[in-house]
Chain A
Amino acid sequence: MDDIILQILNGLDKGSAYALIALGLTLIFGTLGVVNFAHGALFLIGAFCSVTVSRLLSLSFEKIDGTQTDFLGNPLRVETPYLHEWFGPEIGASLIDWAVPIAIIFAIPFMVLVGFVMERGLIKHFYKRPHADQILVTFGLAIVIGEIVKANFGANPIPTPAPSAYAGAMDFGVILGFEPNTIIYPIWRFVYFLFSMVIICAVFAFLQFTTFGMVVRAGMADRETVGLLGIDIDKRFTLMFGLAAAVAGLAGVMYTPILSPNYNIGMDFLVLSFVVVVVGGMGSLPGAVLAGFMLGILQSFASMNEVKSILPGIDQIIIYLVAIIILLTRPRGLMGRKGVMEE
């Protein structure tokens, strides 16, 4: 039993990331009808927002410390972060420690802006072109963004630690009433799961309970009629693109402590997220979330040693296997709507 719970927990963090990216993909697809292969690049930009913020916060200068001397008797030069200087060592240290959560504040407006620029600058011109063209141009954009990141940050993964208060692991078994030390789980992964749930709920609430969201949903169902009612639906859809970009970016920001990002992280997640979207059903938001968590947990079960001893390597192919089976038995995915992507 505790093994099963541990595997479910292990699947949650990956599942959360899949769900968030797939949610954004589905939002873009449902509103604008664009297959966005550059969505992984948005996740990547988010992850590197976090890297940049943590670097900016720990920018430092050399300060001459009069109280100490080095071995030659000269006053010691100490590398001091500006934050220590400005806010005092204690607050400065904790600000640097909390770099990843602080990055969220910067990432939201930045990602919305990136989304705007992407939609207005490039994707707008591809609405009337075939889906293959949309896939290709966004694929090219993903390559370009990945390479720009590589040119600026190098090809190696950059570790970005979580705040030290959340860096350790916690004993989950005790909370659930098992023996101690049966379910040890890193705290940050749990935080990531909670965070993603908050984001997902917020997106759904936004679409469900605000007038803006209602108009967007109406536009998803029948764009032309909404336009005939005198509503500028394009403007709202552009905003939704910004929102989807922000969701993907936040998923990236918060994921950095779990997996040190490098320039490839976007592509890795993108391929899987596409599979998630297709399994969940193109154009269905709940389907994307459900499929994200389902595939994440399934993957973690498949990587159990007991399973691997029977079917070696199943953990690497399980997602694709499930996707193929589902596409062939339920062509619209788990919760797909009728008439989406069916010419």
Chain B
Amino acid sequence: MLGMNRKDTTLFIIVCLMVMLAPILLNPFPTESAFSQFNAGYPALLQRFVIFGILVIGFNILFGLTGYLSFGHAAFLGLGSFAAVWMFKLLSYNIVPAIVLSVVVSGLFAVVIGYVSLRRSGIYFSILTLAFAQMMYSIAYSDLVGKVLGFPITNGETGLQVYNNDPQFLLGDGPTTPHLFGWEMNGSFTWDIGGWSFVFHNGYYLAGLFMIASFYIAIRIFRSPFGLILRSIKSNQQRLNYIGVSTRPYMLTAFVISGMYAGLAGGLLAAMDPLTGAERMFWTASGEIVIMSILGGVGTLIGPILGAGVIKYMENIISTINDTVVHGWFSFMPDGLEDFVVAIVHPFIGKGWHLTLGLVFMVVVIFLPGGLVELGQRIGAKFSRKKPTDPASGATTPAE
């Protein structure tokens, strides 16, 4: 269907259904129950799932297919957000020009940065992209462009947002929140049934449609001859050069595509909440993108989406769990034991969720280089009747 083989079509349909039904599926616990804080089906988090999904799908086209590790990808996300907010400030709250411009701007920057960075490979490429991203972060954070031009462009530490005295030439009587030709992004429809309350949020569904489209394009890229060239760059770039294939145009195309994906994600972030700041471009944000894609499974189709979902879920849910909540869970234990358990769990929850993140990430890199997808395959292999054919075990000791 749509130029995909059967396996990909199934995967695609599953992803579509997941996106459509996420507000229900991720809300399994009734609102009043003790477990309701594990519900992920609220709009602010769902939006992040799909938007960061788009971002990591794009990153995966670069890192997963070609093996070039960019440590500065958040810069494009930030650029997209800035471009989108500027469109809100200048034209109106309609998100179409905002998203178009954010993709175009990130694409243009990706052409320049990619052209320069791709002259080197390996660790040098990582450092170059990191250097570019940090430079852009510094420029945005202290608003250097604005200082040269005489009016704020990125608005420094405060961050960029829309003010009442902005021109907004096309605003007229239109809505004063982001909208798609009048269809407001923050509108929602709540469905109360039994103890549950499901929120269907306009902005989420728009971002979800964008993610489905991005996912479809990613599938087509993965299965195209272009994708095959990118994969062969990862396995042996030198051999490609020897047989007369110039790899640089392909690399640059992949870099620009993934930059545009990041720009789209940045534009959508701004469309959900029309303000942005330089901290979106900081290098730890780039590191987070890398973590997401590794955790899910680099070079696989579904992996990045899973990774983005898990990280954002952990960020939002684990960080809200505090000692009182843990005491509640373990209240069935004797007092001394309960305090002991809580003391052990304490460093990993609440403010310490980064520690959990770091540990999970290390465990995945050490034991599961293929991420969650590999975990799924291993478990699947255990339970399936077929004899497990493990290609990895035969190839761990390269002959030297």
Contacts and interface: CB of A to CB of B under 8 A. Distances in A.
Nearest to B396: A128
Given A313-B142, A316-B142, A324-B132, A133 B124 contact: no
Nearest to A139: B287
- The binding surface of chain B is classed by DSSP as helix
A337 interface: no
Nearest to B346: A151
A137 B357 contact: no
Contacts of B398: 128
Interface in B63-104: 67, 69
A143 B67 CA distance: 23
Contact of A327 (B128, B147, B283, B352): B128
Given A132-B67, A133-B365, A148 B122 contact: no
A151 B355 contact: yes
Given A139-B287, A312-B148, A343 B238 contact: yes
Interface residues of A, number: 42
B294 A136 contact: yes
A136 B144 contact: no
Contact of A312 (B120, B127, B147, B357): B147
B116 A274 contact: no
Given A278-B124, A313-B142, A313-B144, A151 B347 contact: yes
B139 interface: yes
B124 A320 contact: no
B369 interface: yes
B120 A327 contact: yes
B359 interface: yes
Interface string A257-293: 0000000000100010011001000100000000000
B361 interface: yes
B126 interface: yes
B14 interface: no
Interface in B338-365: 347, 352, 354-355, 357-359, 361-362, 365
B135 interface: yes
- The binding surface of chain A is classed by DSSP as helix
Most chain A beta carbons < 10 A, residue from B124, B131, B355: B131
B238 A320 contact: no
Interface string B110-152: 0000001001111110111011101100110110100110000
A339 to B, nearest CB: 13
Most chain A beta carbons < 10 A, residue from B121, B138, B148, B365: B365
A146 B359 CA distance: 12
A341 B147 contact: no
Contacts of B347: 148, 151
B229 interface: no
A276 to B, nearest CB: 10
Contacts of B399: none
B124 A274 contact: no
Interface of A: 35, 122, 125, 128-133, 135-137, 139-141, 143-144, 146-148, 150-151, 267, 271, 274-275, 278, 282, 312-313, 316-317, 320-321, 323-324, 327-328, 331, 341-343
Interface of B: 67, 69, 116, 119-124, 126-128, 130-132, 134-135, 138-139, 141-142, 144, 147-148, 237-238, 283-284, 287, 290-291, 294, 347, 352, 354-355, 357-359, 361-362, 365-366, 369, 398
Given A148-B347, A324-B131, A327-B127, 12 more contacts: A135-B69, A136-B365, A139-B361, A140-B358, A143-B358, A144-B362, A275-B130, A278-B124, A278-B127, A313-B142, A316-B142, A320-B135
20 contacts: A35-B123, A131-B123, A135-B69, A136-B365, A139-B287, A139-B290, A140-B359, A141-B358, A143-B355, A143-B357, A144-B362, A147-B355, A278-B127, A282-B123, A320-B135, A321-B135, A323-B127, A327-B120, A343-B121, A343-B238
